[in-house]
Chain A
């Protein structure tokens, strides 16, 4: 059974946002990493790139699958998790601890359209 953490915002495409002040940490959920299997590569944007809610900002790759990363919110990338460049398997070990990008949020109102933990858990069950 995949973990779902309280207090995060979730997208239908299985990304989460953890909000700290004006910043959001975006990663893929535990459920998503389970579905993918061994993550072997994470394609990440560059710092200062703009991401737009609903658009791709990268991809996560396992041996036999690849999944686009869809931005749950809009913003500007202020940091990428460089640890994933050499150790993409960190996502399998703990998807919530190993966020992929940190963005400066454009509009916190966008968070309202995302799911909370309860709704997301139900979404995964469906």
Chain B
């Protein structure tokens, strides 16, 4: 990463008369929109796009990329996000013209290769997760969650059971769970966690009844702890007539070891951009395939990809489906990447991926617990949570001037590491959630551990260095309040007085 501040916006590089494109002359003459279209239908105001030449554009975005930090730049232990290495072969396959040039509306007979990728990936995911079938149409984890909840609601509606409008969510859950439930028209019922961070089964029991549509869980949960009582939880929820939903955000450590389907889950989503190595792209595009156990397949959204008697694949619109949640077959180029990854990993390496993600997380946890407050000990899975610095390193929460997790996070940036996820989960005031992933070497982890120790020492010796961190990044701490109170959402907002 380039630590020099690059400040320009493309609009500031614009000069009237410059262009960055070339089009062939149009030889199909006879019609001119400028003379034929009624003025009432034409735009009268300028869209105010920049005018820039090609070299300027190339240099602008290259310079801009220098102010960005990705997995290829360095260690990115962002908890719950599984920032593993993104293989380049995946990108190569996704860029093949034989797939990239396919139009989504072309006949299925002319897109059999693409449909084979779709079908092959959904079958591999079903095997990995212990489910019966997957739809790959959802575009992201949150979109998968919403789709999965729609599966649950349709399941109950199909049975003529309209009373089930509540969904149980652990209090440690990510905010997306309740938000997805609300979009799906479900009311949220929170179940409490025990001090060890797992679901309190005694608190769950009285919540169960004939108004419960189901329960959403991650396992391991957001604290990286495996929910040991999952068989009992699943049994209770099923007994009351609800379905179990598995939020696949934390699937990585379970690969090849233990499958959601075997834990008793009925519906789930997978984040391909987490567990299956597709790039996060600064926020997207991801993919959130949804899997279901046997008996629920027909509820999956349209269009469905089905194998016909003659062995070819076709698209189907089924009346039994929950509806349609995407324009086409999802983020197809992302699906190609995950498919490539699974072929690369294969039967032989899947379990290693899960196990080494767990080893890496436990290694950091054990190496740093003398410096940072570890609220829940014991084995973690792919990630764990520290509750800020330990008191002897300035982390005493009771004192008003304690060193906050935010300060530690910002200081990490100076040392060339991305920060962990901070202030989530909400169960701890100074949460710092660390997920190293399996693709990091022992040397990288050791370097990170050393820096985390050094930051702890700094917190004791020179706390102001932390409070004003970062110091070595292209920009320093930003004014969040100003961004809301003097809002500037476009470049045009800078032009006004």
Residues of A within 8 A of B (CB): 38, 40-41, 63-64
0/1 interface trace, chain B 469-497, chain A, CB 8 Å (1 if under): 00000000000110111000000000000
Residues of A within 8 A of B481 (CB): 38, 40, 63
Instruction: Tell me the bound Cα distance from A40 to B480 in angstroms.
Output: 10
- List residues of chain B with CB within 8 A of the CB of A64: 423, 480
Q: Tell me the bound Cα distance from A38 to B483 in angstroms.
A: 13
For chain B, residues 111 to 168, give those with C-beta under 8 angstroms from any C-beta of chain A. none
For the complex, count residues of B whose C-beta is within 8 A of A: 6
Chain B CB within 10 Å, residue with most, of A41, A63, A64: A63
How far is A103 from B226 in the complex, measured between Cα atoms in Å?
Answer: 50
For the complex with contacts A63-B483, A63-B484, 9 further pairs of A-B residues with Cβ separation under 8 Å are A38-B481, A40-B481, A40-B484, A40-B485, A41-B484, A63-B480, A63-B481, A64-B423, A64-B480
Which of A38, A40, A41, A64: most chain B Cβ within 10 A? Answer: A40
Q: Which residues of B contact A63 (CB under 8 A)?
A: 480-481, 483-484
A41 — which chain B residues lie within 8 A by C-beta? 484
Give the CA-CA distance A64 to B28 in the complex, in Å.
56
- The secondary structure that dominates the B interface is helix
Q: Which residue of B lies closest to A63 (CB)?
A: B480
Residues in B neighbouring A40, C-beta threshold 8 A: 481, 484-485
Residue of A nearest to B484 (CB): A40
- Cα of A40 to Cα of B485 in the assembled complex, Å: 6
CB distance from B135 to the nearest CB of A (A): 34
The answer for the CA separation of A40 and B482 in the assembled complex, in Å, is 9
Using a CB-CB cutoff of 8 Å, which residues 403-452 of chain B contact chain A?
Answer: 423
A64→B484 CA distance, assembly (Å): 11
| Distance of A41 Cα from B485 Cα, bound (Å) | 8
Chain A min CB distance to B374 (Å): 25
Q: Which of B372-428 contact A (CB under 8 A)?
A: 423
Which 4 pairs, one residue from A and one from B, show the smallest C-beta to C-beta distance? A40-B484, A63-B480, A38-B481, A63-B481
A64 to B406 CA separation, bound complex (whole angstroms): 13
B168 to chain A, nearest CB (A): 22
11 contacts between A and B (CB under 8 A): A38-B481, A40-B481, A40-B484, A40-B485, A41-B484, A63-B480, A63-B481, A63-B483, A63-B484, A64-B423, A64-B480
A40 to B479, CA, bound (A): 13
Instruction: Please give, as numbers and ranges, the residues of chain B lying within 8 Å of A38 by CB-CB distance.
Output: 481
Question: In this complex, what residue of B is CB-closest to A64?
Answer: B480
**Distance A116 CA – B140 CA, assembled complex (angstroms):** 49
Q: How far is the CA of A38 from the CA of B481 in the complex (A)?
A: 8
Give, as a whole number of angstroms, the nearest-CB distance from B397 to chain A. 15
Complex Cα gap A41–B481 (Å): 11
B480 surroundings in chain A (CB, below 8 A):
63-64
Nearest to A38 among chain B residues (CB) is B481
- For residue A36, give the distance in angstroms from its CB to the closest CB of chain B: 12
Contacts of B483 in A (CB 8 A): 63
Which residues between 153 and 189 of chain B lie within 8 Å of chain A, taking CB atoms? none
CA–CA, A63 and B485, complex, Å: 9
Q: How far is the CB of B483 from chain A (nearest CB, A)?
A: 8
Determine how close the nearest CB of chain A comes to the CB of B365; give it in whole angstroms: 27
A38 CA / B480 CA spacing, docked (Å): 10
B46: min CB distance to chain A, Å: 31
Q: How far is the CB of B400 from chain A (nearest CB, A)?
A: 12
Residue of A nearest to B487 (CB): A40
Bound-state CA distance A115–B355 (Å) is 55
A40 to B481, alpha carbons, bound, how many Å? Answer: 7
Q: In the assembly, what is the distance between CA of A38 and CA of B485, in Å?
A: 10
- Closest Cβ–Cβ distance, residue B323 to chain A (whole Å): 30
Q: How far is the CB of A110 from chain B (nearest CB, A)?
A: 26
Instruction: Name which residue of chain A comes closest to B480, CB basis.
Output: A63
- The CA of A64 and the CA of B483, in the complex, are separated in Å by 12
The answer for the CA separation of A41 and B484 in the assembled complex, in Å, is 9
CA of A80 to CA of B481 in the docked complex: distance in angstroms?
A: 24
Closest-CB distance, A18 to chain B (whole angstroms): 28
Chain A residue with the shortest CB-CB distance to B479: A63
Closest to A61 in B: B484
Separation of A51 and B481 alpha carbons in the complex (Å)? 30
Q: In the bound complex, how far is the Cα of B388 from the Cα of A19, in angstroms?
A: 44
> A102 to chain B: closest CB distance in Å?
25
Q: Once the chains are docked, how many angstroms separate the CA of A11 from the CA of B481?
A: 28
- Inter-chain CA distance A38–B484, complex, in Å, is 11
Alpha-carbon separation in the docked complex, A64 to B175 (Å): 14
Per-position binary interface string of chain B over residues 263-303, scored 1 when its CB falls under 8 Å from any chain A CB and 0 otherwise:
00000000000000000000000000000000000000000
Residues of A within 8 A of B485 (CB): 40
Question: Bound complex: CA of A63 vs CA of B423, how far in Å?
Answer: 14
Query: Taking CB as reference atom, which chain B residue is nearest A40?
Result: B484
Identity of the chain B residue whose Cβ is nearest the Cβ of A41 in the assembled complex: B484
CB distance from A42 to the nearest CB of B (A): 13
A63–B480 Cα distance when bound, in Å, is 7
A46 to chain B, nearest CB (A): 23
Proximity string of chain B (303-326) to chain A, C-beta cutoff 8 Å, 1 when within and 0 when not? 000000000000000000000000
Query: From residue A43, how far is it (CB to closest CB) to chain B in Å?
Result: 13
State how many angstroms separate the Cβ of B407 from the closest Cβ of chain A: 15
